[in-house]
Structure 1
Amino acid sequence: MRQATGRAVQVNGRTVHVEESGSGVDWVVFEAGGGMGRTSWDPVVALLADRTRLVAYDRAGFGRSGRTATQLSIDDLAADLVALVEAVVPASFVLVAHSMGGLVARRALAGLGPRLQGLLLLDPAAESAPVYDTFDRTAAKVDRSLGVTQALFRSRSLARLASRDIRRLFPADTYATMLAEDFVPAGIAQTRKEIRAVAEAIRGFRAEPPDLPTCPTILLSASRSQRGRARHHAALTEHRRRWAESLPDGRFETVDSGHLIQAEQPGIVADWVERLGGRTTWISARRV
């Protein structure tokens, strides 16, 4: 099993489970995608632990963190991220965020302040893309599907069957932890809340976009689309590219991967983390 140990940290009246690992002078904080937690970063953590201080956590209501009775918004989760950094990270750091976690990270930028020395986004949500024009309806469909999944996951054999694609991507001990903590009815219930939070955030981000990052920012976009989603995937990729290249110090790259870039291409993720943490000079994509 995984050897990582963690601790409970209080943030805004909520409790989140945090794992701190690694050594060195550089710090990295990980923000997971929707329906996932600290364990989703295991493949990257394994590559960086001998030279970097690493912080991965479960958002409130998920994994080993305290349960939440109310519906938390992306703004709430961003405030938790800021509070977590203030409580745990004593120096400047790189923030790595995946998928929905990109919304959390972007909303947290103002609160994180100048200590944020680099931002690495993996296949993040891009609210300006046309695919999100009807996301309220999409979220409702996903919620209905997850409602069925939530009931089915009372059966461990059905949970293993439904999560077989995840099992193929992650180390066996990581998957075993996910199966025990995340792919359970309570975990699916929290995922449903996060989908609702994303739907609300898409509307909010379109009406009032968050501050743009002023630190060096890398956006890695997966090259492989889901079956039948090629057109939507291409449009989403283009909107990600435009956003990254609009930044004063931004870079966009496509990666040969599906959505879970940190599992399929952990070496690429780790390389960019080190380049951001080491303040390596690089030329932004729009200047190439």
Structure 2
Amino acid sequence: MRRVWGGWGIVTEVERHTQGSAEWVGTRDGRKLFAMVLGENGGTTVVFEAGAGAGRSSWATVQPEVGKFARAVVYDRSGLGRSAPDSAGRELDRMADDLTDVLDHFGPGPFILVGHSAGGPIVRLAAARRLDRLAGLVLVDPTDEAADVLFGRGFRRMERGFLAAGYLLARLRLLKVLFRKQLRNLPPDVRRDMEREAFEPSVLRTQRQQARTFLDELATWRDNPPEHGSVPITVISGALAGDGMNAATRAAAIASHAHRADRSPHGRHVIAENSSHYIPLTEPDLIVSEIARLLPSAQSPDA
């Protein structure tokens, strides 16, 4: 709470959260997903999908800027943030169903979907199920089936090792130490949210649940990817190695992103020159500008 002195004394107001107002979204099987909303309804709605172990807070430097010119929605997938776990599993197909439930809740659109990392395939699959409501996709350093490196034994061993180490660090209350720099750059209310929610053992359990089938499901897309018709697709690649990606992996990721943009009749490939994988933290303004490019001209912040 804060106190504001007015002409008739003290007026008490509830402080506004950086990521807007809270809202619960019901899924088709009765679960509740926690969402936060900025901006007014009436135009395009931008919905953000976070990476594998991340929740709504990972968009805290992007969503508020988008909320100045569009309705901007972030949410926590089941088992992350404030959303309860999903006892039925975390298959890619099921996560996309949850996202379509989010879209239906905030409908009728039009929507721009923004997905980071493993969130990229989720928004691609959900988009294919709601093409009539889509204004565009922005994929931020997405996981993509065109990158052969994802399906080798080495990558899977690395992923298992990362998840095991992360779970141990979470149990020891040490996981957030690895993210001290990122936390320092966040607004105080978002930093408090992440310190309470983002580094718990339950988050790593959800990541492991997702990882059981994610790559196998993604591999099937190599022959039969989701179709997006003429929906504009922008793919943003980090230029730098780091954040767990060596130079060879980074090169493979950029090549897969270029391929994804080339497959779209309205594709665009953008390089984030000063970033590795966590572009939402290192170059949020670039993501904001690419979202704005997809808005109808009458709603564009530059109009």
Does 1:142 pair with 2:172? no
CA deviation map 1:179-228 (0-9, x unaligned): 21111111111122222342222222224322145211111100011277
Task: Give the share of equivalent positions with the same residue, in percent.
Answer: 30
Q: Secondary structure of the residue that 2:114 maps to in structure 1?
A: strand
* 1:7-30 superposed Cα distances (whole Å, 9 cap, x missing partner): 221112132111111126221111
Which range moves more in the overlay, 93-102 or 210-219?
210-219
Aligned partner of 1:18 among 29, 35, 43? 35
1:70 offset after TM fit, Å? 3.3
Instruction: Report if aligned partners of 1:166, 1:175 keep a CA contact under 8 Å in 2.
Output: no
CA distance in 2, matches of 1:71, 1:166: 30
Letter in 2 for 1:102: G
Most deviating of 120-129 and 194-203: 194-203
1:99-142 CA-partner distances (Å, limit 9, x unpaired) = 111110111122112110111110011212221231x6533442
CA contact (8 A) 1:61 1:67 kept: yes
Q: Whose relative contact order is higher, 1 or 2, with alpha carbons under 8 Å and at least 6 apart?
A: 1
- CA RMSD for the aligned pairs? 2.2
Could you tell me which of 247, 251, 260 is aligned with 1:243?
A: 260
CA contact (8 A) 1:214 1:249 kept: yes
How does the TM-score come out when normalised to structure 2? Answer: 0.84
In the TM superposition, what whole-angstrom CA distance separates every residue of 1:150-202 from its partner, at most 9, and x where no partner exists? 2332344x133132243255334323311211111111111222223422222
TM-score when scaled to structure 1? 0.88
Is the aligned partner of 1:64 residue 2:69?
no
User: 2:60 aligns to what SS in structure 1?
Assistant: helix
Report the counterpart of residue 79 of structure 1 in structure 2. Answer: 97
Q: 1:168 to 1:205 in 2, by over 3 A?
A: farther
Higher helix proportion (structure 1 or 2): 1
Whether the 8 Å contact between 2:62 and 2:285 is mirrored in structure 1 is: yes
Query: Which residue does 2:183 correspond to in 1?
Result: 167
Higher mean C-alpha displacement, 232-241 vs 139-148? 139-148
Residue aligning to 2:5: none
1:208-287 equivalent positions in 2, closer than 5 A = 208-226=224-242, 229-256=246-273, 257-279=275-297
CA contact (8 A) 1:122 1:221 kept: yes
SS at match of 2:271: strand
Of the candidates 6, 24, 32, which is equivalent to residue 8 of structure 1?
A: 24
**2:132 partner SS:** helix
**Contact 2:261 2:269 (8 Å CA) reproduced:** yes
Computing the radius of gyration from Cα coordinates, the structure with the larger value is 2
- The unaligned stretches of length 5 or more in structure 2 are 1-14, 299-303
